[in-house]
């Protein structure tokens, strides 16, 4: 699966089955940089990314 950089459009070639998608997030806070891994269940990768935000 290709890694998407910020600003790229995420789209699916095949839609129809429910999958678990793992998303790595990086964010900055007052105490420093943080990396976070979350899993979301959806039929599309775009739907999983929408759940993350």
For residue 2, name the pLDDT band (cuts at 50, 70, 90). Answer: low
Q: What is the pLDDT of residue 53?
A: 80
This model's pTM is above 0.75: no
Q: What is the pLDDT of residue 4?
A: 59
Q: What is the pLDDT of residue 7?
A: 67
Under a CB-based contact definition with an 8 Å cutoff, are residues 33 and 26 in contact?
A: yes
Look up residue 11 and give its DSSP letter.
Answer: -
pLDDT digits (tens, 9 = 90+) for 10-40: 667 777 788 999 999 899 999 999 999 999 9
């Amino acid at each position: 699966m290709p890694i998407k950089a910020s600003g790229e459009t995420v789209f699916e070639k095949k839609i129809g089955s429910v999958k678990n998608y793992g998303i790595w997030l990086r964010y900055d806070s007052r105490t420093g940089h943080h990396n976070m891994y979350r899993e979301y269940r959806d039929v599309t990768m775009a739907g999983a990314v929408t759940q993350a935000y």
